Chain A
Amino acid sequence: MSAMVIEYGLYVGILVLLAMPLGVYIGKVMNGERVFLSLVITPIERLIYRFLKVSATAQSSWKQYAKDAIALSACGFVVLFLIQISQNILPVNPENKEAVSWDLALNTAISFITNTNWQAYSGEATMSYFTQALGLTVQNFISAGMGIAVLFVIIRGLSHRKDKDQGLGNFWVDMTRIHLYILLPLSLVIACLLVSQGVVQTFQASTSGALIEPFAVDGDGEVIANGSILDDRVTVNSDVVEEATIIKEQLIPLGPAASQIAIKQLGTNGGGFFGVNSAHPFENPTSVSNFIQMLSILLIPVALVFTFGRNIRDKKQGYAIFASMFILLILFLSASAINEHLATPQLEQDGAVLTAVTLDQSGGNMEGKEARFGIVSSVVWSVFTTAASNGSVNSMLDSYTPLGGMIPMILIQLGEVIFGGVGSGLYGMIGFIIVTVFIAGLMVGRTPEYLGKKISPFEMKMAVLICLATPISILASSGFAALIPSVHYSLNNGGAHGFSEFLYAFTSAGGNNGSAFAGFSADTTFLNITLGVTMLLARYLPMIAILAIAGSMVEKKKVAVSSGTLSTSSPLFIFMVILIVILMGALSFLPALALGPIAEFLSM
């Protein structure tokens, strides 16, 4: 028991220890200060600026910034869409993969430019190496970089003053710096580490290996469960099955995986190279690779919180945000862990599984979890991946206990502001902080301000848009889909569990998470389009809103601090932020959760 607690503690502790110095590094990079990589990278950086015809000190308005970001996204979308539907004629396709259907290509393109990485396909079965490496991986970088870039606009908006000739920065300069100094070097390191653990990285076509234990399928491709194989003949209860096929070999998929996986985790993308994501032995072979990937999920989001405090020149504000996020993370991690370790009585029925912890038995709910990772690493991963808008998985959420599986769902529904996606998590949290400041400010009799800047109706409008974009996207799309009869066929389970699967799919898209609960077949034209539109709204509405806030904040002068000013770094305020985040989520999703996981739990 204590060993497990220590394991949880270590994961979280090491994460924070690594994130703090990284936060300072990112802060320096984005301010254009010298860092240890400057010597090597600065010449390249200059070259890029010359090519892009921008100056390193260029400033643009928030509208220009938004236009640039959306233009880049739009280009990314078109390129990615075209690559997919023409991958059969493009090079580096040793497996001769067919072109992707238009609706799946559309869904996937939206999914990757929005940093959602929802996958209605299995990578090894659908995408060519060319698509994976030059289509999907590129968007992994760009979408992550864009999130970070937008965060810095609001940081500047809050700390800069236009009347002092300070601006919001320039999109192209920010993107260049983020990629050259942060994402590329970090990805390179992580990719090499992953390769050392056995993650594949090759352009060689898939190969095959002999099965130790061959099995048989019938004419419809269904496995013959109790068939026995003798001399190429399949018998069931000594009756020969005529149309049976014996499977003796297994396909071993390969590909340039490590390079994509590094950025998939670092950039909170989460789209797996292989269908089962990081549960796949070639995507995540060992406990060491698991540890590296798990840390990578939250590394940059946590670091950015410290960067925030540093770059607004008030470290306490950064610590306060960190505290509120951290407390929430621990709260949800504990809730999920307790449920998974306790498992459910149903698992023990007829002595099927031992859920008690013994010396040689991990106990708890191991269903759907990889034996090489165990419960602790699986639970930490699933909480990290949904706290961040990552969405990669190393265990199957569908097999979690009702409440253990509800936690990842709630984490997404809260808006992924508990560290959240790179950049987007923190700027989402700023939306919540503005709402909190507004209510708390009124309660102490002042018109509200954050970091000395007054909050006017305009900022309020944008802040509620940020806070409510997630619930609105999820509720509207799932509510609409519930009316469509064909959606029933996507369900693999009935009852409350089936509803959880359905709700999770829309939660994942509406929260730009991309993880799947599994058990829900999402590759239908209707779902591809509905989920696609949901992802677009959930990503770009808050992004434009936060840019607008930055644009209006930078114009404002700072109000002086007095003892009548509401402190935004006090424990009380941290408590209130936590309260508002939970309250907004609870008010929006409590009835829906009651129909899914809660109803399922109560029927246990």
Chain B
Amino acid sequence: MKSEHTMEKRIMAIAIVDAVKKLHPKVQKENPVMLLVYISAILVTGLYVISYFGLKDAPSGYTLFISIVLWFTVLFANFAEAIAEGRGKAQADSLRSSKKQVNANKIPSIEKANEIQVIPSTRLKKGDLVIVRAGEMIPLDGEVIEGVASVDESAITGESAPVIRESGGDRSAVTGSTSVISDHIIIRVTSEPGKGFLDQMIAMVEGANRQKTPNEKALEIFLVALTLVFILVTMSLYTYTHFIAADQGINNPVSVTTMVALLVCLAPTTIGALLSAIGIAGMSRLNRVNVLAMSGRAIEAAGDVDILMLDKTGTITFGNRQADDFIPVDGVQSYELAEAAQLSSLADETPEGRSIVILAKTKHQIRTEHIDTSKINFIPFSAKTRMSGVSMEGIEIRKGAAEAIKAYVVKNVGTFSRECGEVVEKIANKGGTPLVVAKGNQVLGVIYLKDIVKEGVKEKFADLRKMGVKTIMITGDNPKTAAAIAAEAGVDDFLAEATPEAKLELIREYQQKGHLVAMTGDGTNDAPALAQADVAVAMNTGTQAAKEAGNMVDLDSSPTKLIHIVQIGKQLLMTRGSLTTFSMANDLAKYFAIVPALFLGLYPQLSVLNIMGLHSPETAVLSAIIFNALVIIFLIPLALKGVKYREVSSQRLLSSNLFVYGLGGIVTPFICIKVIDIILSSIWY
């Protein structure tokens, strides 16, 4: 806690320095709206300077004050951006510290694993083979081609538990700068030095090659257009007053300084100042949930996604089936069945087996401590027999798939009753897995193995549906089982017996109908589907191919992450929209502050419009422009955190955001400008 606090302080200190550094014109020209404020600040400062030479546009104290406020406006905007970058930079620093230069054990081939040549990792090339032993660091991103090892990836994921990496399959990818804890593996390097995953990650979180997203560009176009209109409004206003003053035979009472102040007040500086901070903050929110987006575009697309393809295992269900009930058949007692089932599962270390033992314990209080396991001959499950069980003292107990047990009892001249068949059928229809238990040639009953749906997923999916996001469950189960689980979990649709081709086909089909699809994947065979999906999250545990095909990488490899990502995407866009609305709504109060003050010399009757009862024209203009600067600072936390996100329909979301940021944007400045005016006038006079 304390360290976090000091880190915040450090980020703050760095941001203040950066805010000043960002006054460089090269940085300023990146943000057109703030560029206007920057130029205005220079202009008014210039006016202040020439006032010493007798060219007075307005009282020089007033001009000086305005120019100071304008410079602060620019600094506040710089600060907002700097502090948003600060978090990313801090993260990048810690990543960089874990990226050490190591020596790599290069080998010519798997067969010649002994011919080790030690070279610095920077001299490795793509395709080189290296051997990494326990306690050593993996030099670069690569693919395990031989061996299996546990690897500590905490440098990247922050997760301290080691993970298994092995050749072949979907867990073959390793990342540079992670270390092998046990065993040794041979790796084929898949990236050039300096272009590895960690390097990409550092660049990403630092925002070094941050590019404006299309949506950000579109918003910027709107803001620039508004700014242009306001430039014309103020310029034409100046000539109008000139025109009217000439008509009245007086000098133009409106000063350039005040016109510039009006322009800066009207221009959408609030959103202009916070725009890049919002974007960077969105990215770092994503980083904080351990997801790495390859582009800002992907985050925005996540907000638009309306189809989520979720893997059943891990996301919707716990990923392993558990015994839920014992159903005896043919007049057998439930106790007898439970006892036999438990006995057959004693040595079964699979989650299913353990759950049978536990169920027998809890349901029938059958203890296992007294059983002498030395006399029992355990028969493990094999794909050929599709059964497992025990043989002891002439008794044979078997449990397995209905078909296998049927064959087994028939062979032992027993009968597989119709009643049993019906029970099996019923369980299968409910989406469960029936395990039939037989003792010798007699069928005792059926164990009901159930896929346990995670708590709260149904509600989560209902919320998503309200937001217009459909969920689709992807499973390898047969359609019957899939349908039952889909119904229980409340998903909108499911894909049973899913193959990579079927997934790809389904994504295409939805996209054809105009949907945007998000999915997670890890295996190499997921790569085509990942490449096709609009938002594709690859698991960090997954293969290199999957990671390359996706546009995000989930460092935690958590299947539920997709839902978070959608939320962050939506929140990012919402923050932009809400602050734009707020910024525009503010202008109304600013008009009421400045317009009467501006035209008092021409038309004294316009003072009626001074509904806030501001003290004097000078304090009115100053209050408005001070508010304009301060509001940036006050909104930084909102820009970084994002506006409140709720899972409700778009209609309700719009009305509540419109209420808070639209109406709030109209009311707030009236109050604040008045308060600033009271303070100013008490100091001033």
Contact = CB atoms under 8 A, between A and B. Distances in A.
Contacts of A496: 603
B120 interface: no
B159 to A, nearest CB: 30
A43 interface: no
A495 interface: yes
Contacts of A475: 229, 232-233, 235-236
Contacts of A573: 654
Contacts of B591: 587, 590-591
A49 B237 CA distance: 52
A494 interface: yes
A482 B221 contact: no
Contacts of B653: 443-445
B574 interface: yes
B21 interface: no
Contact of A592 (B221, B236, B574, B651): B236
A480 B222 CA distance: 25
Nearest to A498: B247
Nearest to A476: B232
Contacts of B40: none
A562 B306 contact: yes
A441 B662 CA distance: 14
Nearest to A592: B240
Given A494-B247, A570-B651, A602-B606, A468 B577 contact: no
Residues of B contacting A: mostly: helix
B573 A460 contact: no
A483 B244 contact: no
A501 to B, nearest CB: 12
A471 B233 CA distance: 9
A459 B214 CA distance: 11
Contacts, number: 218
B587 interface: yes
Of the listed residues A445, A457, A559, A595, the one surrounded by the most CB atoms of chain B closer than 10 A to its CB is A445
Interface string B374-406: 000000000000000000000000000000000
Contacts of A3: none
A431 to B, nearest CB: 11
Contacts of A465: 225
A27 to B, nearest CB: 25
A595 B577 contact: no
B151 to A, nearest CB: 38
B6 interface: no
Interface residues of A, number: 69
A442 B576 contact: yes
B264 to A, nearest CB: 14
Interface stretch (B164-172, B345-353, B508-516, B612-620): B508-516
Contact of A562 (B244, B470, B571, B577): B470
Contact of B580 (A439, A495, A587): A439
Contacts of B466: 563
Given A456-B218, A567-B651, A499 B581 contact: no
B102 interface: no
A597 B248 CA distance: 17
Given A559-B514, A567-B651, 18 more contacts: A438-B219, A443-B661, A446-B304, A457-B217, A461-B218, A472-B229, A475-B233, A482-B236, A482-B239, A494-B247, A495-B248, A562-B470, A563-B465, A563-B468, A576-B658, A592-B237, A599-B599, A602-B605
The 4 closest A-B pairs by CB, nearest first: A564-B468, A442-B577, A479-B236, A445-B570
26 contacts: A440-B577, A441-B577, A442-B219, A444-B574, A445-B645, A446-B650, A447-B304, A459-B218, A467-B225, A475-B229, A475-B232, A476-B236, A479-B235, A479-B236, A482-B236, A482-B239, A485-B246, A558-B514, A562-B469, A587-B226, A588-B229, A591-B598, A595-B603, A599-B603, A599-B605, A603-B605
Interface of A: 435, 438-447, 452, 455-457, 459-461, 464-465, 467-468, 471-472, 475-476, 478-480, 482-483, 485, 487-488, 491, 494-496, 498-499, 502, 557-560, 562-567, 570, 572-573, 576, 579, 583, 586-588, 590-592, 594-595, 598-599, 602-603
